[in-house]
Structure 1
Amino acid sequence: MIHLPNLIADLALLLGAAAITTLIFKKLKQPLVLGYLIAGFLVGPYFDLFPTVREEGNIRVWSEIGVIFLLFSLGLEFSFKKLMKVGGAASITALVEVAVMLGLGYATGQLLGWGMMDSIFLGGVLSVSSTTIIIRAFEELGVKGHKFAGLVFGILVVEDLIAIVLLVLLSTLAVSQQFAGTEMLISVVKLVFFLILWFVGGIFFIPTLLKKTKSLMSEETMLVTAIALCLGMVVLATQVGFSPALGAFIMGSILAETTQAEKIEHLVKSVKDLFGAIFFVSVGMLIDPKMLQLYLGPVLLLTVITLVGKTLSTTLGAVISGQPLKTSVQAGMSLAQIGEFSFIIATLGLTLKVTSDFLYPIAVAVSAITTFTTPYLIKMAEPFYGWLDKRIPAGWKSTLARYSTGAQTISQASDWQVVLKGYVINTAVSAVIIIAIGLLSSLYVLPKVEELAGARWSRIITAIGTFLVMMPFLWALAVRRVESAAFSNLYAQNKYKGPLWLLRIARIVLAVFLIGMMLDRIYSFTVAFSVTVVFLTVLIIFSRRLQVFYDRLEARFFTNFNARETAQAAAEKRRNPVLAPWDAHLASFNVRPDWEGVGQTLEELGLREKYGVNIAVIERGERLLPIPPKSERLYPGDRLQVIGTDDQIALFRQYIEQHLPDIRPVKTEVELRRYEVLPGSQVYGKTIRQSGIREQAHSLVVGIERGTERILNPISDMLLEEGDVVWVVGSPKRTAALFRVKGEAQKPAV
């Protein structure tokens, strides 16, 4: 008789049970995760009615692969741009909710008489909501387009990142078995260091690799390459002391910035679904009815704490961040559950053998109950708000409304904030790359060179090679001028000259320290100091060439980073090649309090994409916001100066539910003009972004005529060529100065 490996028989049993239970749960319109958990219980060691999995060790390995692909898929949906776009409201809400639930979980564990590590891991289990369950519930209930859903998705993005940090901190805590402040700080610094290094390196190399091999990439090779990159990062993360889940998440977030992100996500989905099913079934296999019976009280108590605690903490966080009470309540009741990250955190405790056996099945039971209640809580959110609104005193409601309006007021960052932020980012990125090069050189390159060239020459060769590779980044750290326009504005004021010089000196001192530290790993202190002085001299002499080389590196990085958006813009242009006539003009609209766009950013509204109009000026009381940024929010009472054609403005008027726009001159000197690009002008040969039209003239390019071609709403990377007629809305005086040829007075094109 042919022998069949137990693994194949176990998989057949496991997937067969999963298929049957999920079909039943699909018919009952219940979350499939519950079906997987029940399937695991039925084929697990604690239920004797059906056949049982024989080799649980193999299934655990497959479930670990499931965790890797779950986190890889979350990374593909995450992307660093999403984190930057979610805004302060989602970040504040997520931080408040996680902090409160960590505290409640730890306090509950202590009250129940559990050990310190059980209580700490319980706090982690209760702190993170389930992205999978919430997205599925939103789709089934048809509320993905509602206002509160946007806030919930933003909170989930931040929570995913917090969960990754929690995995690192809990691993460190499990090893030390105590709150060692120094070790925790080292873990956080180590995490930040590798996150920056992997992100910068990944964005620089991986999109280029995919672009160069695009013609060779079939669906099969793309899938194999994506999985290879994922598992490679998993191995790398494990080698430096992090969890495999972190490596998978990081690689997913890097690939999310490439032009192939959607294709990779589509190809990986089936693999993720398969291994994810195995993971959830393996979780169900650990459900011990006797354990649950013994700990029924804690299960019910923790379920109530999860439902009430997460609802209240999320609502509180959203209110603090300036969200209306209705949106806050709806977000709070949507996030009242735990899911996949809770299982991963509980698994981590078991794997490291720092938590008791009862914590895992309790977490699974609480997750199962709260998963079941999630759709009903989302449905009840609006009626509950109506009930609550009738019972809140009028004074409280008035105070909340005033606070919400005040908290959402966005003030423009000062020049000092811009410069300081630029210096911090530049210093952090440059220092991380320099340290990484130095460590790679001393730990790996030097020993290899010593084998080939001997001790003396190997040190000289390694030192010179290391410095040559470091030079562009040392220049960026010590010499590069960051945020030139804001820096010049500050330097013109005497009170800022001292702090700016201190920043410059601090950068140079840090560069000297890093060079000396790296050389000290190869040479003695005296030799390292002498060589450092020589290296700094070389750095100054070749400063201009290094600037050119560094600019090329930076341009390649940002080209890769923005490749996905650039490709989408090009595709949109191909879909809409026919342009409307050049009959655009300015029109005024008032923002009414009951308009659905109130409180949203211009980016969220997408007025340019949906209606073809541009916001030229926002009048907010006595304050004027010419050419507002995409992060600017609209508030009741704002007066919008909108530019568009007759048809576009008519369409926008229907959306904003306003009467025919009252066209009248605006308070600011903002007009729609057309200018010709001539050789010798400041904008000639530059892209729209480089031309300074937006930053210096506070104006907006809305169209370009190039021969017989008309380009409406051109992308910012478009090059301005000789003879182009550029349509600009903004200040005519400032704009004309940019198009003026030296010795001539540039006039708008006729």
Structure 2
Amino acid sequence: MHDTSLILDLLIVFTLSIAVVYIFNRIKIPPIVGFLLTGLLIGPNGFHLIGMEEEVEIFAEIGVILILFSIGIDFSVSKLLNMKRNIILGGSVQVLSTIAVIALISYGIGFEVNVAIFLGFLVALSSTAIILKLLISNGALETPQGKISLGILIFQDIIILPMFLVTPLLAGMSENIVLSVVLLIAKIVGILAFLYISIKFVMPKLIFAVAKTRIKELFFFIIILIALVVVWLSSVLGISLALGAFLAGLIISESDYSHEALSFVEPMRDVFGSIFFISIGMLFDVSLVIENWEFVLFGTLIVLIVKFFSLSLAVFFLGYPIRIIILVGLMLAQIGEFSFVLSKIGLDSGIISFDIYSKVIAVAVISMLFTPLYFEFAPKIALAIGNLKIFEKYNNRAKTEAEPPKKLSNHMIIVGFGLNGRNLTKAASIAGLEYIVLEMNPITVKNEKENGEPIHFGDASNEAILEFVSVKKAKILVIAISDPTSTRAIIAQAKNINPDIYIIARTRFVQEVQALYTLGADEVIPEEFETSIEIFTRVLTKYLIPRQEIERLVNDIRSDGYDMLRSISRRTSYTDIAEHIPHFDVCSIRITDKHHFIGKSLNELKIRNRYELTVLAVKRGSEYIANPQAEEVIAKDDILITWGERKQISEFNTDLE
């Protein structure tokens, strides 16, 4: 008869997980907390519902590997190089300051120097798996705080290797320190060489050869094989499996088939990643916490406070506003999963006793348990603290460190200088529109200022920064960032200062649209909705549907879709009226040399008779001629603002061309 113990254990794990996570979802608690609680209930310190705990730990390790592997695939070497400042400066300041402070505190309360330094190692690491999971699920990986957090986490995963090598030295087990340092340098050089050769010469050819076969199973196997080989080599070199998995993903990311590889990995990542969080819950010993509640409580508070300030210091050195400093400090304040591995090495080598080991595990698990909870409230806390008067001078340093912008009026403010912001500035420059940009990455601001961009450093959710860029006199505010909390705060602040400003906001998901309209946004562009329209357009183009018909259908879908997403309480304009009258629109047309309109009056052109269109206004330079008379003569570079049915506008445009 077959041994079904493992199957029964997995049955218990998944059944209880489904129940707990479903209940937590109903009461708006993050699913990660549900998985942690599941681990507590089924583990040896709970109801001890499963017997094969080692197998669950193996599944958990696979989960960590897959999480980091998928992050590596979705990443790239170019992205990594762009983050070098966050990784090197931010990571080193955080890790070194944490180790120094924890070592001093530990030594002060009676621990030996080597134990104190080792405890600093353990506390310096944050939870890569939990933070990346939360950032991805909240769509915050591309936000400033997401990029900084990822950079610091990557540095922590890299610094694990030296920590592993130094641990025997702290235990007095290594006699040759020079040899250990030489080996460490050799490993780093070896890793960089392996990465370069793999990305440049080996992997592109290998993956292409397999992809040509069009056998999905073979493609899937080669992706897994690459991951296993790199992770195995990492373990042989004494590097953490997580860092090895990230490097494996990074190698695949440079191929043309990275997205296909990611689609294979993601389902497994989600399943095994959930088991990882369950395994963390299984480590929590309630009886130990009760018996040593003073030490555990004091230790947890010390960890959270020290980590918060060391992380805040790191982000301060990176030059970001107070809101981002507070946000990163709160997000990464927990002890990480790789501290469990390092603490086990410390226990085996005799640096720490079993009693200290158990207490460290308890503190680590508690800090991880509460991470998803305060992650939810961190943006609001950071926003509130960032707007305090005591930080006003720091937040307003854009006023003191940069030349004030020239007197602006009727201009456009662009928040964020990512892809959307860059494209918008290019379009504004071509159209001759006056604009100013706000960006929170100090390096981007410095570089773009040198290129002549009217860009300033500052957090647009801060009232003083908005006043600095003359929001009271601005015509349009475009929010081109991917941070939902910051977007809401910016809309509220801008509308409070200038109720008449026209706000266009970017958002990732349709469900966020109504909340932004309620706050006062005039236009909200959900990427999800626009992506569906782009797919629809390309499908029809492939089926050789005429361009005019595609444009008409796209206009209808946009009109119907955005009308459905809008709140009826918004103020209206010409363009809003057009959207509420089926098949009608307002269109602007620039008259150029190739048009036969130049030198003719509106009466001669007979636009109303021929096309059933009404000319609402003529823009000539910076002047608007509203409700133009029939005798008005059209000049070169005039812009005609017309109103009528979309099919007539399309016909009018075609005749002009």
Q: When the two structures are superposed, what TM-score results if normalisation uses the length of structure 1?
A: 0.52
How far apart, CA to CA, are the structure 2 residues paired with 1:378 and 1:164? 25
Aligned 8 A contact 1:311 1:336 in 2: yes
Aligned 8 A contact 1:124 1:166 in 2: no
Q: Give the alignment of 1:610-629 within 5 angstroms.
A: none
Which of 246, 249, 253 is equivalent to 2:246? 249
**Amino acid of the structure 1 residue aligned with 2:162:** L
RMSD: 4.4
User: CA, structure 1 residues 121+209, in 2 after alignment: closer, same or farther (shift >3 Å)?
Assistant: same
What's the secondary structure of 2:3's corresponding residue? coil
1:235 corresponds to which residue? 232
Q: How big is each residue's C-alpha offset from its partner over 1:506-543, in whole Å with a ceiling of 9 and x where there is no partner?
A: xxxxxxxxxxxxxxxxxxxxxxxxxxxxxxxxxxxxxx
How far apart, CA to CA, are the structure 1 residues paired with 2:349 and 2:253? 31
How far apart, CA to CA, are the structure 1 residues paired with 2:311 and 2:385? 15
2:5 corresponds to which residue? 6
2:310 corresponds to which residue? 313
Which of 79, 104, 107 is equivalent to 2:104? 107
**Amino acid of the structure 2 residue aligned with 1:189:** I
**Amino acid of the structure 1 residue aligned with 2:44:** P
Q: 1:190 and 2:183 equivalent? A: no
Deviation at 1:354, TM superposition (A): 5.2
Deviation at 1:74, TM superposition (A): 3.1
2:329 corresponds to which residue? 332
Q: Give the alignment of 1:134-283 within 5 angstroms.
A: 134=131, 137=134, 144=140, 150-176=143-169, 177-178=171-172, 182-183=178-179, 185-203=181-199, 204-283=201-280
User: CA, structure 1 residues 66+322, in 2 after alignment: closer, same or farther (shift >3 Å)?
Assistant: closer
Q: How big is each residue's C-alpha offset from its partner over 1:647-667, in whole Å with a ceiling of 9 and x where there is no partner?
A: xxxxxx96679xxxxxxxxxx
Deviation at 1:37, TM superposition (A): 2.2
Aligned 8 A contact 2:164 2:238 in 1: no
Q: How big is each residue's C-alpha offset from its partner over 1:612-640, in whole Å with a ceiling of 9 and x where there is no partner?
A: 577999xxxxxxxxxx9998334999559
1:649 corresponds to which residue? none
User: CA, structure 1 residues 118+609, in 2 after alignment: closer, same or farther (shift >3 Å)?
Assistant: farther
Q: Give the alignment of 1:680-719 within 5 angstroms.
A: none
User: CA, structure 1 residues 590+140, in 2 after alignment: closer, same or farther (shift >3 Å)?
Assistant: farther
Q: Give the alignment of 1:71-90 within 5 angstroms.
A: 71-86=68-83, 88=85
Deviation at 1:285, TM superposition (A): 1.9
Aligned 8 A contact 1:607 1:614 in 2: no
2:521 corresponds to which residue? none
2:381 corresponds to which residue? 380
Q: 1:633 and 2:448 equivalent? A: yes
Aligned 8 A contact 1:46 1:289 in 2: yes
User: CA, structure 1 residues 403+289, in 2 after alignment: closer, same or farther (shift >3 Å)?
Assistant: farther
User: CA, structure 1 residues 119+252, in 2 after alignment: closer, same or farther (shift >3 Å)?
Assistant: farther
How far apart, CA to CA, are the structure 1 residues paired with 2:324 and 2:401? 11
Aligned 8 A contact 2:95 2:156 in 1: no
Deviation at 1:90, TM superposition (A): 6.4
What's the secondary structure of 1:25's corresponding residue? helix
**Amino acid of the structure 2 residue aligned with 1:269:** E
Deviation at 1:206, TM superposition (A): 0.6
How far apart, CA to CA, are the structure 1 residues paired with 2:410 and 2:144? 20
Q: How big is each residue's C-alpha offset from its partner over 1:345-377, in whole Å with a ceiling of 9 and x where there is no partner?
A: 445556767543312232112221233222222
How far apart, CA to CA, are the structure 2 residues paired with 1:112 and 1:55? 39
User: CA, structure 1 residues 115+4, in 2 after alignment: closer, same or farther (shift >3 Å)?
Assistant: farther
How far apart, CA to CA, are the structure 1 residues paired with 2:98 and 2:86? 18
User: CA, structure 1 residues 366+89, in 2 after alignment: closer, same or farther (shift >3 Å)?
Assistant: closer
**Amino acid of the structure 1 residue aligned with 2:120:** G
Q: Give the alignment of 1:653-668 within 5 angstroms.
A: none
How far apart, CA to CA, are the structure 1 residues paired with 2:401 and 2:88? 16
**Amino acid of the structure 2 residue aligned with 1:332:** G
Aligned 8 A contact 1:163 1:341 in 2: no
What's the secondary structure of 1:4's corresponding residue? coil
How far apart, CA to CA, are the structure 2 residues paired with 1:37 and 1:347? 21
How far apart, CA to CA, are the structure 2 residues paired with 1:222 and 1:325? 47
Deviation at 1:171, TM superposition (A): 1.6
Aligned 8 A contact 1:590 1:638 in 2: no
2:422 corresponds to which residue? 607
How far apart, CA to CA, are the structure 2 residues paired with 1:591 and 1:198? 53
How far apart, CA to CA, are the structure 1 residues paired with 2:184 and 2:408? 45
Aligned 8 A contact 2:207 2:222 in 1: no
Deviation at 1:190, TM superposition (A): 2.3
Q: 1:360 and 2:353 equivalent? A: no
What's the secondary structure of 2:370's corresponding residue? helix
Q: How big is each residue's C-alpha offset from its partner over 1:440-474, in whole Å with a ceiling of 9 and x where there is no partner?
A: xxxxxxxxxxxxxxxxxxxxxxxxxxxxxxxxxxx
**Amino acid of the structure 1 residue aligned with 2:186:** K
User: CA, structure 1 residues 198+594, in 2 after alignment: closer, same or farther (shift >3 Å)?
Assistant: farther
How far apart, CA to CA, are the structure 1 residues paired with 2:118 and 2:233? 26
Q: 1:42 and 2:35 equivalent? A: no
Aligned 8 A contact 2:165 2:184 in 1: no
1:391 corresponds to which residue? 390
How far apart, CA to CA, are the structure 1 residues paired with 2:87 and 2:402? 16
2:629 corresponds to which residue? none
Aligned 8 A contact 2:99 2:117 in 1: yes
How far apart, CA to CA, are the structure 1 residues paired with 2:410 and 2:346? 50
**Amino acid of the structure 2 residue aligned with 1:371:** P
Count of aligned positions: 448
Q: Give the alignment of 1:577-592 within 5 angstroms.
A: none
How far apart, CA to CA, are the structure 2 residues paired with 1:615 and 1:131? 43
Q: 1:29 and 2:28 equivalent? A: yes
**Amino acid of the structure 2 residue aligned with 1:63:** A
How far apart, CA to CA, are the structure 2 residues paired with 1:615 and 1:629? 22
Aligned 8 A contact 1:590 1:637 in 2: no
How far apart, CA to CA, are the structure 2 residues paired with 1:175 and 1:57? 26
How far apart, CA to CA, are the structure 2 residues paired with 1:22 and 1:118? 39
Q: 1:371 and 2:372 equivalent? A: yes
Q: When the two structures are superposed, what TM-score results if normalisation uses the length of structure 2?
A: 0.58
Deviation at 1:342, TM superposition (A): 4.3
How far apart, CA to CA, are the structure 1 residues paired with 2:189 and 2:409? 47
Deviation at 1:194, TM superposition (A): 1.8
Gaps of 5+ in 2: 433-442, 456-474, 480-657
Farther off after superposition, 363-372 or 250-259: 363-372
User: CA, structure 1 residues 282+632, in 2 after alignment: closer, same or farther (shift >3 Å)?
Assistant: same
Q: Percent identity?
A: 25
1:577 corresponds to which residue? none
Farther off after superposition, 338-347 or 285-294: 338-347
Q: How big is each residue's C-alpha offset from its partner over 1:363-413, in whole Å with a ceiling of 9 and x where there is no partner?
A: 112221233222222221111222x3x23585x766x5578659xxxxxxx
User: CA, structure 1 residues 84+113, in 2 after alignment: closer, same or farther (shift >3 Å)?
Assistant: same
Gaps of 5+ in 1: 407-588, 618-627, 641-652, 658-750
Aligned 8 A contact 2:102 2:120 in 1: yes
Deviation at 1:139, TM superposition (A): 6.6
User: CA, structure 1 residues 222+198, in 2 after alignment: closer, same or farther (shift >3 Å)?
Assistant: same
Aligned 8 A contact 2:90 2:152 in 1: no
**Amino acid of the structure 2 residue aligned with 1:378:** P
Aligned 8 A contact 1:25 1:32 in 2: yes
User: CA, structure 1 residues 257+290, in 2 after alignment: closer, same or farther (shift >3 Å)?
Assistant: same
